[in-house]
Amino acid sequence: MSFLSNPVTAITGTVSKLNNELLEYVNPEKPTHDHSSVYYQRFYVSKFNLGDRAIEAKFSSPMKIHEGDLVTVAGYPKNNVFQVLAYSNKTQQVSGNENWLIAGLGALFFLAVAIGLLNTELVMEGAWIPRIFLIGFVAVAIYMGYRALLIREALKLMQN
């Protein structure tokens, strides 16, 4: 897509210097005695090299890759690190990506909330706090829609 500021590209290579991490965020409203998984948000981060390129992938489930696997990744460069949106492991015959449909639906939800807020009396009267919330909801909707488009573009590259 030409309107995307960071063009989505694909890179193929052999995985080296693999480092898997788990980022875990705890809901601040979690009771101290309850350790159920509903209070945790987990992100799996895989950092590795494909040739001489530094690669970083953040997914809600772990990437299925090992050292020496032949992998194709689709994504965009950010701060000298290639950010992965979708991948295909040729060695293990598996692939993965985040769900673009969920991101798109999230964008529609935040846009609907913003439209609902736009029709309130406080916004029409010019109150600042509702306007700030309105701008925030629109910004989140735009970001989530943009992210969904990036993931779709990466998936198209993986099919070629």
Could you read off the pLDDT of 41-91 as tens digits, one per residue? Answer: 778 999 999 988 999 999 988 999 999 999 999 999 988 999 999 999 999
Q: Up-side HSE of residue 39: CA atoms within 13 Å toward CB?
A: 11
pLDDT tops 60 at residue 95: yes
Instruction: Tell me the β-bridge partners of 19.
Output: 47
| Distance (Å, whole) CA 87 – CA 75 | 9
What integer is the mean pLDDT of 115-128? Answer: 80
pLDDT (0 to 100) of residue 74: 95
Spell out where the chain has E strands: 9-26, 40-50, 53-59, 70-78, 81-89, 94-97
Report the candidate in 44, 52, 43, 55 with the shortest Cα–Cα distance to residue 18: 55
Helix 100-118 and helix 128-159, axial crossing angle in degrees, nearest 10: 160
Q: What is the reported pLDDT for 7?
A: 84
∠ CA 37-26-152, rounded to 5°: 80
Mean pLDDT across 134-139: 92
Which pLDDT does position 23 carry in this prediction? 80
Contact 84, 56 (CB under 8 A): yes
For the cut 80, the answer to whether the pLDDT of residue 9 exceeds it is: yes
Amino acid occupying residue 131: R
Closest listed residue to residue 91, CA positions, set 10, 13, 11, 9: 13
Residue 6 above 80 pLDDT?
no
Higher pLDDT pick, 117 / 37: 117
Q: In whole numbers, what is the pLDDT of the chain averaged over residues? A: 87
pLDDT beyond 90 at 119 = no
Q: What is the pLDDT of residue 93?
A: 93
DSSP 38: G
- When pLDDT is cut at 50, 70 and 90, the band that residue 37 belongs to is low
149 within 8 A of 6, measured Cβ to Cβ: no
